[in-house]
């Protein structure tokens, strides 16, 4: 035993109630379950990430970030035009190989999506980048992609 085994043993005892709770309520987070992850994750969690990130910024920083139009055009163009086109060219080459076509279609789909909100903001903050611009571009990119898919899906194309 000794001092080394004691904290491990206590940690195992302390985690047990949480494990029991997780086992009993595992069905709550299933798709269309009581927690409705299709709504809570897609809208509420993303909104909370933006809200939390916004709270940590000064109003002047957010206002200043909105005025960087050239930066926003570059980021949106790179994310939503250049990168999907580069992946499309890569997929043309990869389609000549034995790689499954569904895997290639999935890669093409993912390449057309904006970066996840949380990673865009967190990684920008970690390297000391312009967090306000990252928040704006992440939100704006997500908005543009959602509007495009709304038009494409529900209105029968553009």
Provide mean pLDDT across the span 125-146: 83
- Comparing CA positions, the residue from 129, 138, 123, 134 lying closest to residue 80 is 138
Q: Would you list the domain boundaries of the chain? A: 35-156
Give the torsion sign (CA, 145, 151, 156, 158).
negative
Q: Which residue has the tokens 């009581």?
A: 34
Provide mean pLDDT across the span 116-133: 82
Half-sphere CA count of 147, side-chain side, radius 13 A: 6
Longest dimension (CA), the chain: 70
Q: How many Å apart are CA 56 and CA 49, to the nearest integer?
A: 11
Main-chain phi, psi angles of 156, to 5 degrees = 75, 35
Q: How many Å apart are CA 57 and CA 60, to the nearest integer?
A: 8
- Comparing CA positions, the residue from 146, 121, 126 lying closest to residue 51 is 121
- CA–chain centroid gap for 49, Å, is 10
pLDDT tens digits for range 3-42: 555 566 676 677 788 888 878 777 777 777 777 777 777 6
Q: What percent of the chain is predicted at pLDDT more than 70?
A: 83
Confidence of residue 80 (pLDDT cuts 50, 70, 90): confident
Confidence of residue 103 (pLDDT cuts 50, 70, 90): very high
Give the torsion sign (CA, 118, 40, 53, 22).
negative
Cα distance between the two ends of the chain: 69
For 2, the token pair is: 């000794």
Q: What is the mean pLDDT of the chain?
A: 79
Return all residues near 113 (Cβ < 8 A) that are at least 6 apart: 145
Segment (H or E) for 140: helix 131-154
pTM, full prediction: 0.58
Confidence of residue 158 (pLDDT cuts 50, 70, 90): very low
């Amino acid at each position: 035993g000794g001092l080394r085994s004691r904290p491990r043993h206590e940690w195992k005892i302390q985690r047990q109630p949480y494990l029991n709770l997780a086992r009993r309520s595992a069905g709550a987070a299933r798709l269309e379950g009581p927690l409705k992850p299709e709504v809570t994750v897609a809208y509420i969690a993303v909104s909370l990430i933006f809200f939390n990130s916004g709270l940590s910024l000064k109003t002047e920083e957010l206002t200043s970030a909105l005025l960087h139009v050239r930066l926003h055009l570059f980021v949106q163009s790179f994310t939503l035009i250049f990168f999907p086109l580069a992946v499309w060219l890569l997929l043309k080459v990869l389609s000549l190989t034995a790689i499954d076509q569904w895997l290639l279609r999935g890669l093409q789909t993912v390449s057309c999506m904006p970066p996840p909100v949380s990673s865009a903001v967190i990684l920008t903050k970690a390297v000391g980048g312009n967090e306000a611009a990252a928040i704006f571009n992440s939100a704006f990119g997500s908005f543009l992609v959602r509007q495009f898919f709304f038009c494409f899906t529900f209105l029968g194309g553009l």
